[in-house]
Homo-oligomer: A and B are copies of this chain.
Amino acid sequence: MAAAASTNSFLVGNNTQIPSSKPKSTSQSLLHLTKPNTLNLAGKKTKPVSVRCVSSTPQVQDGAARSSTTGSQDRVFNFAAGPATLPENVLLKAQADLYNWRGSGMSVMEMSHRGKEFLSIIQKAESDLRQLLEIPSEYSVLFLQGGATTQFAALPLNLCKPNDTVDFVVTGSWGDKAVKEAKKYCKTSVVWSGKADKYTKVPPFDELEQSVDAKYLHICANETIHGVEFKEYPVVRNPDGFLVADMSSNFCSKPVDVSKFGVIYGGAQKNVGPSGVTIVIIRKDLIGDAQEITPVMLDYKIHDENSSLYNTPPCFGIYMCGLVFEDLLEQGGLREVERKNQMKADLLYNAIEESRGFFRCPVEKSVRSLMNVPFTLEKSELESEFIKEAAKEGMVQLKGHRSVGGMRASIYNAMPLAGVEKLVAFMKDFQAKHA
C-alpha cells in the first residue's frame, strides 16, 4: 500500500511558523502539511503538526468564521450530500501543486487544455478510472460539464427518436426529475414509482411491467435525497434495449459490472471530485445517432471523437478527479473501498436500530444506501437541536434535504471512519440526554 508507506513524508518539524510582517492581516490561512489519520493509513498514528502561513488577503470575505487553532483538528467532519468531503491527502497534493504544477511553471488552472501537461493529466485520469471500474474497451469515458441534470436531456436526445419509449423505475426525486426532462424528447413510461411510499423502496424486479420495445430502462442507482440504493440491477426486457444508470452519488463507491449497462453517468461532486465535472461511461455502439435538435455540447459523438476536448473542458476539476482516482487505487481499489463504506454504513445503521426507536431510518433495510443515511428523531422537535449541537462538535451539514426533513448523513468514500464513529458516539450521548 503505497499510501500507507508514504505517510511519514508529510511529517515535518513542529509548528514551523512563518512570521508575517503584517500582524493585522485579515486572512490567516493554514497550510496543513500534515497527512492526517485516515482509513487508509496502516495503523501507525502520527502526531499532527502544521506550517502556519500568514497571507494578506484584504477583505476576502468579511465576517466569515475563523479558527484560532492550528493543525488538522481544524477540519470538520462534513456530512454534506455534495459537494462533499474530499480525501485530505488529495487536498494536500492539490494545495502543494496549485501554484506550480510539478515544475511546469503553471497552475493546472492555467494550462492550455491542448498542451502536453494537461493531456497527460486527463489521459491518466481516464486510464485510472478504467482500471478502477474495469471498464471494457468497447466503452467510452467522457468528461463533461453540466451535472446529471444536463444528462437527463442528453440521454434521450442521443439515444432516442421522439417516438421511442424509455422506461423508468423511479426510486426517488432524481429519478423523477430524469423522467420530466426526458418527456421533452421521447415517450416515457414510469414502470414503477416509490412515491406513494415516500421513496423508501426498490421494487422486486420481476414485478416490473417493462415496455416490450423500450429503448432503454433508466434507474437512479442511489437516490441522494432519499437514501435508497440498488443492490442488484434489473434485466432489460427488450433484447435490443439496455440499462442506463445515474450513479452520481455512488459512483466509484463499490465495484460495478459496467458491461451490464449501456450508459453509466454521474456528477463528480459526491465521491470523486469537485462539482463541475460530469462523467459519462457509454457503450460505443450507442454513440452517433443524436436527434437533429441536440445542442452540439450535448452530443456524445462530438465529445467521443474529440476525447472530451471539443471545447475547453473543466480542467482543474478533471485534475482533482484524477487525484481521487489515484487515491482509490492506492487504497486497494473499489473492493477495498466498498469494504470500508460497508463498515461505516453498518456502524451508523446499527446505531439507529439499537436506539429502540429514538432514531429512525425510513428506508427498507435491504436497500439502504451506503452513501446517504437519512434519519429522523422520534421526538422530531429535537431535530434542530441535534443538528446544532452536532455542528458545535465539528460535524456539519447533517440537516436533511428540505423536501424530506430530519437529518441526513452523507458518508461518501472520503468520510473517514473516525467521522462516523464520532457521529455515533454523539447520537448515543444525545439519546442519553434526551431519552
Contacts and interface: CB of A to CB of B under 8 A. Distances in A.
B109 A320 contact: yes
A98 interface: yes
Interface residues of A, number: 117
Interface stretch (A10-18, A133-141, A346-354): A10-18
A103 B74 contact: yes
B276 A120 contact: no
Contacts of A188: none
A289 to B, nearest CB: 16
A296 B181 contact: yes
A407 interface: no
A24 to B, nearest CB: 9
Nearest to A402: B114
Contacts of A111: 80, 83
Interface string A148-176: 11101110010000000000000000000
Nearest to A84: B110
Contacts of A312: 82-83, 147, 267, 269, 275
Interface string A1-27: 011001011111100101111100101
A99 B91 contact: yes
Given A16-B18, A31-B99, A153-B295, 19 more contacts: A3-B58, A8-B22, A9-B20, A9-B55, A31-B95, A55-B96, A58-B330, A59-B326, A67-B100, A74-B100, A82-B312, A83-B110, A83-B111, A83-B113, A86-B110, A109-B273, A145-B146, A184-B293, A314-B317
Q: Rank and list the top 6 A-B pairs by shortest CB-CB distance, nearest first.
A: A276-B314, A76-B105, A153-B295, A67-B103, A9-B22, A6-B56
